[in-house]
């Protein structure tokens, strides 16, 4: 039986000089349960942290958590992410995350429908993600967070 999901995602970054940190959050609701996942990423040679990459990473993490052969309605306040992942826009950067998303969706036979929503309609995941950034000790030590 096909599972249906409602998913909200968000991502953001903070930086000061050479210090760069990002956070992502995803809220996943199905008839079975409701789950929230989030994470912090520090800029490195392996992973460049930008706002768009954090938005994409949240979506990649969301589809990774969904069951095979599922229907997903995914809400995001990122026009960029919705555009490049739905195929309406072409991306010249972030192709690693876009390829990863496409592989997961293909391998798991997911049916994803994107809905762009204004930031104020994405409050819950935005709040969780920003709380993580604003209370990150390392970010405070580097002055990326204003007290």
Instruction: Write the CB contacts of 37 (distance below 8 Å, at least 6 apart in sequence).
Output: 25, 26, 28, 61, 62, 65
Condensed to tens digits (0 to 9), the pLDDT of residues 42-95 reads 999 889 999 999 999 999 999 999 999 999 999 999 999 999 999 999 999 999
Count the domains in the chain.
1
Tokens of 64: 């990774």
Condensed to tens digits (0 to 9), the pLDDT of residues 34-53 reads 999 999 999 998 899 999 99
CATH of residue 9's domain is 3.30.420.10
Does residue 147 belong to any structural domain of this protein?
Answer: no
pLDDT at 79: 98
Prediction pTM value: 0.93
Instruction: Write the CB contacts of 26 (distance below 8 Å, at least 6 apart in sequence).
Output: 7, 8, 9, 36, 37, 38, 58, 59, 61, 62, 65, 125
Q: Answer with the residue of higher pLDDT: 125 or 145.
A: 125
Q: Which domain range does residue 67 map to? A: 4-141
What H or E segment, with its residue span, contains residue 62? helix 51-65
């Amino acid at each position: 039986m096909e599972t249906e999901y409602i998913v909200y995602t968000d991502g953001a970054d903070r930086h000061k000089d050479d210090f760069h940190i990002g956070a992502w959050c995803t809220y996943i609701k199905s008839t079975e349960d409701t789950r929230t996942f989030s994470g912090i990423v520090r800029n490195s040679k392996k992973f460049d942290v930008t706002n768009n990459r954090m938005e994409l990473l949240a979506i990649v993490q969301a589809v990774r958590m969904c069951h095979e052969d599922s229907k997903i309605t995914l809400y995001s306040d990122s026009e960029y992410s919705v555009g490049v992942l739905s195929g309406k826009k072409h991306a010249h950067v972030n192709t690693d995350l876009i390829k990863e998303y496409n592989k997961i969706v293909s391998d798991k036979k997911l049916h994803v429908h994107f809905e762009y929503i204004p930031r104020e309609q994405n409050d819950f995941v935005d709040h969780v993600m920003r709380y993580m950034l604003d209370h990150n000790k390392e970010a405070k030590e580097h002055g990326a967070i204003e007290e």
